[in-house]
Amino acid sequence: MNTLLVNQSLRPFNTFGIDATTHYFMEVDSVAALQNALQLPEIQGLPLLVLGGGSNLLLTRNFEGFALKISLKGIELLHEDEQCYYVRAGAGENWHGFVQHCIANGWAGVENLSLIPGTVGAAPMQNIGAYGVELKDVFHELQALAIADGSLHTFSHSDCRFGYRESVFKHEAKGKYIITSVTFRLRKVPQINVSYGAIRQTLEAMGISSPTIADVSRAVIHIRQSKLPDPAQLGNAGSFFKNPEIPRVQYEELKTRYPELPAYPTDHPDRMKIAAGWLIEQCGWKGKRVGNTGAHKDQALVLVNYGGASGAEIWQLAQQIQASVAERFGVQLQPEVNVV
């Protein structure tokens, strides 16, 4: 920890299990160590790769730069008001571990986001979401360190400019800041959300009619485990592509040709979100294997490494899938995964 390493394998630090290397590597566990790392003379002028849980990353080559693993930990109840608890978590905390900690303490709002891989610090960057809840729904503020000078900055909800799998950190602030902690606004009285996906049916199958936040979490975990492969057993980065948002006019035209097309409303009345997994499956990719890669047999949206695949091979498969969906449906899929 906090030691500069040379020619480090990144295989343990990405859930695809890609055996790429980085020229320099350091794991930091404090803001001070992070500030010191960015001032090291050896790394000046080199490309920087910031690592969280490595669950949203595809390494297509060796990284000729400085890979920095963020391991800032700690969960703290800062204060509370009549309705909410304000809870700060270090950027290096495991996301699912944080969710379970909140549930154990009766802090409500993140239960629908159970079992999402990755770290707390990565969560705001792409506004993670699942089963009718997005990170922006529970976000209060975050602290981030400016890479240029090591200064600390506070980002409010509006500063982050959250969108569907979007934030300012994927656009204007990309490559300029490293998130060090996130503060959440969590409810004292839960607002149970079981309207999305198969949560209600799963709870009914479990014999639960008045679910607690722990019950909702257990249902989400059951659903995710039933259709998503465990990265520890089969290399993957979860959903590889975003669900595309398309103009309502285009959606209506597709709906006439494909009445079973799954779709969801967005924040914009003239746009609809359609299911990328369904599009991929209709193009024949579900369960199809290409060399040591493929689309998973239970969820076409998940690309997998069957063992020994390179990142370049997985990226080539992703591009083939993009091309086939564009040709058949006229829809361009965008990666949710960060391709390096």
- The residues carrying an active-site annotation are 165, 239, 336
Alpha-carbon dihedral 209, 212, 217, 219, rounded to 10 degrees: -10
Kindly list the strands in the beta sheet with 5-9, ordered across the sheet, starting from the edge strand earlier in the chain: 5-9, 21-28, 63-70, 48-51
Q: How far is CA 301 from the centre of its chain?
A: 14
C-alpha–C-alpha distance, residues 287 and 308, integer Å? 18
Q: Taking a C-beta distance cutoff of 8 angstroms, is the pair 251, 270 a contact?
A: no
| Phi, psi angle pair for 327, to nearest 5° | -65, -40
Query: Residue 303: which H helix or E strand, with range?
Result: strand 302-305
Residue bearing tokens 């709870």: 203
Helix then strand then coil, % of the chain, to nearest 5: 30, 30, 40
